Structure 1
Amino acid sequence: MKITRIAYSTGLNPGKYAALLEQARRLGQVRGEVWQRYGSIAGVGSGLRDRQVRDRWLADGTHVRFGVLANAWKETVRDATADIAANLASAKVEVRRAISRRAGDPAERRRLLTALKADRWAGDPFLARQMRKHWKRGQNRTHDQIVVRADQHNTATDGRGQLWLAVPGLQRRQMVRIPLSTTVAPMGTLRLILRGGRVEVHYQTDASQMRSSQRPCGDRTIGVDKGYTEALTDSDSERHGVRLGELLTSESDRLKQRNRRRAKLRSIANSAAGRGDHAKARRITANNLGTVKRDRQAARHRARVRTEIFTAVHRVVDKAATVVAEDLTKTFAGRTTLGNNINRRLAAWTKGVTAEALTNVSERRGSALVHVNAAYTSQACHRCGGLGRRSGDRLHCTACGVVWQADVNAAINILQRAGDPDIALHTPHHVVRQILQDRTDRRRTRLPVQDSSPATAERRANHPNRSAMSN
């Protein structure tokens, strides 16, 4: 398994950064040209490959007007065509779902799926309509990246222990040497991202060589639920990543105060520009409304959150050979509209980080990750199966009269859902609710009759699967 590592430049000369920035700007034009010409049905959508694009550009002289070295623009063409292909594959996922909803005949479904896989969807009206709906021509907005091939860079360490990375510049045989803040030399194909006067060097490495990947996993089956104040809660009532809520809350409060001050300064700048004092408006914009410091603070916050979540997942895998969890890549639309401050505290993007951590850590350490249907796991009592009332971090079961910790209850339900023969991963939520209600009604009918009146006895005899409480 390959994972992405990031190395940062330290003390980079402004002249070198300007040269790299100019090279990235020109390569951004290369990306834009690829998206404009080939980001449609007649381009990559018809099976066109990056080598064919390079051959066409060499034949008609398109590459000359970009003013970059051959290896640089060729690698950029390869990267851009891969982005278009990924965009196309993402659209095909949605089209497959539409085929499953529309085609009831297995033969017709198989024909449509085969045509979609072989890129022959342009001739079928239904497939062409769905592809136009889910796959639209994109537009390049990346002008700060440089892709460097594995054999085009080298590293060296000076006498003070400083690691230097040498990458090609705009001129042939002219290398740009970048000082790095790490002692581990980047290997393979590199992606240089230029942000705020600093260079980020992204590269892939083998995860099996990392110390964390060599830790053995446990031998149990554990269900986990994503919490609000912690990263994960398992079915053993143990919480993992308890600092996550504190990190999100403190960052939300800081952003609220900062955005309030920035809004006030922006209003002052707009008022100054409105009365003709454009010099004051430019000073405020340049000195107080910049994005470099803001982006670096956001990056540090994301790094701290990722560390907390990955550490929590490692603790779960320490005792679990099989981790049962909900599919956190799905989106759930809530009925309640929340404010910006609450949304920042809930931080929906942490769901993606948690899903990534569960997948990567489980694969690296040899444990199995099982996804289950999460519908009503936070609202159903794990003991009796009845739907209760959720209030904060408490679940009040109206059937058995017990109050459970909501996240622990959900983790136990997720663990039990792994062996449920009736509720599959993609069972609709309304079907899940009906299954849970039917099970609760059947369980209630086995209880002793509390009311021995003739009317109640007759109603139970006529409706054996219903109860007075369900009415």
Structure 2
Amino acid sequence: MEMIIKTIKQHSYKLDSETFKELSFIANQYKNVRNYVYSRYSGIKSILLLAKNRDIRDEWVKFGFAEQWKLPARYWKLALSEAIGNIKSKWSNIKLKVKIQIKKNLNLSNGDKHYINYILKANELYYKVLNNIEFDILKIFQDKKLNYKYLNSLIKRYTRRYKGKIPYSYRGTTFSVDTGLYSYKDGCINITSTKKGKRLPIKLTDKNVYDRTMIVKLFKEKVEIHCPLKIKARKNNNSENVIGIDKGYKYLFAVSSGKFYGEKLNEFLSIETERLNRVNSNRNRLWALCNSYLEKGNAKKAQNILENNLGKVKYNYNKSKYDSRIKSYINYSLNQLIKEEKPTEIVMEQLDFVNWNNRYPKVVKRKLSRWIKGYIRQRLEYKCNLYSIAYTYINPAYTSKICNVCGSFGERIGDVFTCPKCKEIHADINASKNILNRKYDKDIDLYTNFKKVKEILENRLK
């Protein structure tokens, strides 16, 4: 039976100030190590260095470079390895996005696409292209008349588009511990401190014992231990049932069966958005007053405002409380969907909300900006893996703009989709049925360019 990863959490009781201070120092320095690695090795000139993780580590030891962080070697080595791994994953994601765009580009020949994919696969060639280093044309491409200058420029342009900012952590509240950095005894987890030979005993609320690399998270003078465990996926005994789902604004999901799940989504978003607008407006007024006092040279009044009115403790607590509530609601709605629909496969479009920018007005986008990006997709994939439900992503182009019955282009106003032939239907239900139908469409795959999709749909109508 297939195994999946589930994160188990252990909680501590309230810690004394010295222990929490020591853990905070470790977390902050751990963050600094990772930030240095991100800033030093995330660039295009470091692509070839990423395969030499041990060489970097040995160099830090040889020249005493790591001593500046005042951490036991095992901590900074773990932080270094973790950061390098994240950078490698980032480059893999960049290459994947470039490949997707290459597939969608109608102006490229098969030879052009072959060349670009070959360059992306070979790190040394990719490094040379990005750093404008000349190299001989490969034998397999010598007989093909390709515009190498244009193709190399295209690789660089797409890479710049998807590279994004250097990953950087501002809050040092987490760090990892491997099996050499902790031990369990008498209901406590004992974590290695910065003082040689001394460990910090942390009393836990349970007596479970684990033996793997885990994450320590600090908050409110307590800690959470996040432990990734492998568990068996549950067997799916349902009769074959493939459903399509569409993400909504007023509902979490609309299903091709005609049902809705997460109908309080709009209510949750509205309450928090209105609260945040009110709080932030007030804080902006206080910031302006604080800056005004500073300009007049009244530092004492400005400092009073900063200390008493512009703190982050209450602000972050309320935000965290809302996030927990909405996460709980998302999981409840997903459980309801799986329980009632009994699916063996779920067909869906990408659920990261990147295409909502042009789909909804400003007031709605402000609500969605409070969304926990990627959380729905992450939890949906986890639930599917846990219950042995297959999931398929489809090309979302025009799924909300055509009728699921006759294929005609119609008009969507609010929750209503109007087809010139089949009349009115709920817009999200219509989209979910189109998403399900798209799974069986042999002419439109996940990477078909949206212009080509429109052309195919128009030709079918003719």
So what's the TM-score if we normalise by structure 2? 0.83
Q: Match of 1:419, SS?
A: coil
Checking the alignment, whether the CA contact within 8 Å between 1:233 and 1:411 is kept in structure 2 is yes
Gaps of at least 5 residues in structure 2 are 133-151
Match of 2:24 in 1: 21
2:62 aligned with 1:59? yes
Match of 2:37 in 1: 34
The one of 115, 118, 133 equivalent to 1:114 is 118
Shift of 1:405: 1.2
The CA deviation string for residues 117-139 of structure 1, in whole angstroms up to 9 with x for no partner, is 23112334517735862547836
The CA deviation string for residues 369-393 of structure 1, in whole angstroms up to 9 with x for no partner, is 0111222222222222212221111
Checking the alignment, whether the CA contact within 8 Å between 1:322 and 1:370 is kept in structure 2 is yes
2:411 aligned with 1:389? yes
Partner amino acid, structure 2, of 1:376: Y
Higher deviation after alignment, 164-173 or 98-107: 98-107
CA shift in 2, pair 1:148/1:249, >3 Å: same
Task: Specify the structure having the higher radius of gyration (Cα).
Answer: 1
Q: Match of 1:252, SS?
A: helix
Q: Match of 2:317, SS?
A: helix
Partner amino acid, structure 2, of 1:141: S
Partner amino acid, structure 1, of 2:20: Y
Shift of 1:293: 2.1
Q: Match of 2:243, SS?
A: strand
The one of 380, 385, 394 equivalent to 1:363 is 385
Match of 1:247 in 2: 268
Q: Distance in 2 between matches of 1:156 and 1:190?
A: 17
Checking the alignment, whether the CA contact within 8 Å between 2:254 and 2:428 is kept in structure 1 is yes
Shift of 1:182: 5.5
Q: Distance in 1 between matches of 2:35 and 2:208?
A: 34
CA shift in 2, pair 1:432/1:5, >3 Å: same
CA shift in 2, pair 1:65/1:374, >3 Å: closer
Q: Distance in 1 between matches of 2:337 and 2:240?
A: 11
Q: Distance in 2 between matches of 1:426 and 1:170?
A: 51
Q: Distance in 1 between matches of 2:264 and 2:101?
A: 41
Higher deviation after alignment, 374-383 or 39-48: 39-48
Partner amino acid, structure 2, of 1:394: V
Match of 2:375 in 1: 353
Match of 1:227 in 2: 248
Q: Distance in 2 between matches of 1:314 and 1:218?
A: 18
Partner amino acid, structure 1, of 2:312: T
Shift of 1:234: 0.8
CA shift in 2, pair 1:197/1:312, >3 Å: same
CA shift in 2, pair 1:150/1:135, >3 Å: same
Q: Match of 2:7, SS?
A: strand
Gaps of at least 5 residues in structure 1 are 158-162, 443-471
Number of positions where the alignment pairs a residue of Structure 1 with one of Structure 2: 431
Q: Match of 1:172, SS?
A: coil
Higher deviation after alignment, 121-130 or 82-91: 121-130
Q: Distance in 1 between matches of 2:299 and 2:425?
A: 61
Match of 1:49 in 2: 52
Shift of 1:304: 2.2
Match of 1:138 in 2: 166
When the two chains are superposed, the root-mean-square deviation of aligned CA atoms in Å is 3.0
2:448 aligned with 1:430? no
Q: Match of 1:259, SS?
A: helix
Residues 119-130 of structure 1 aligned to structure 2 (within 5 Å): 119-120=123-124, 121-124=126-129, 125=132, 126=152, 129-130=156-157
Residues 2-13 of structure 1 aligned to structure 2 (within 5 Å): 2-13=5-16
Checking the alignment, whether the CA contact within 8 Å between 1:21 and 1:194 is kept in structure 2 is yes
Q: Match of 1:396, SS?
A: strand
CA shift in 2, pair 1:342/1:33, >3 Å: closer
Checking the alignment, whether the CA contact within 8 Å between 2:47 and 2:127 is kept in structure 1 is no
Task: Indicate the percent of aligned positions where both proteins have the same amino acid.
Answer: 25
CA shift in 2, pair 1:183/1:257, >3 Å: farther
CA shift in 2, pair 1:274/1:11, >3 Å: same
Q: Distance in 2 between matches of 1:272 and 1:7?
A: 46
The CA deviation string for residues 322-358 of structure 1, in whole angstroms up to 9 with x for no partner, is 111112247226447843x432333474562222122
Checking the alignment, whether the CA contact within 8 Å between 1:168 and 1:174 is kept in structure 2 is yes
Checking the alignment, whether the CA contact within 8 Å between 1:155 and 1:164 is kept in structure 2 is yes
Partner amino acid, structure 2, of 1:58: V
Match of 1:322 in 2: 345
Checking the alignment, whether the CA contact within 8 Å between 2:255 and 2:429 is kept in structure 1 is yes
Q: Distance in 2 between matches of 1:377 and 1:405?
A: 13
Q: Match of 1:219, SS?
A: coil
Checking the alignment, whether the CA contact within 8 Å between 2:94 and 2:159 is kept in structure 1 is no
CA shift in 2, pair 1:53/1:353, >3 Å: same
Q: Distance in 2 between matches of 1:279 and 1:218?
A: 71
Q: Match of 1:320, SS?
A: coil
Shift of 1:55: 1.7
Match of 2:365 in 1: 343
Shift of 1:83: 1.8
Match of 1:309 in 2: 330
CA shift in 2, pair 1:362/1:114, >3 Å: same
Partner amino acid, structure 2, of 1:223: G
Shift of 1:258: 1.5
Give the number of the structure with larger relative contact order, counting CA–CA contacts within 8 Å between residues 6 or more apart. Answer: 2
2:316 aligned with 1:272? no
Q: Match of 2:180, SS?
A: helix
Shift of 1:321: 0.2
Q: Match of 2:200, SS?
A: strand
Shift of 1:415: 1.3
Partner amino acid, structure 1, of 2:452: V
CA shift in 2, pair 1:73/1:46, >3 Å: closer
CA shift in 2, pair 1:132/1:372, >3 Å: closer
CA shift in 2, pair 1:46/1:108, >3 Å: farther
Q: Distance in 1 between matches of 2:100 and 2:349?
A: 20
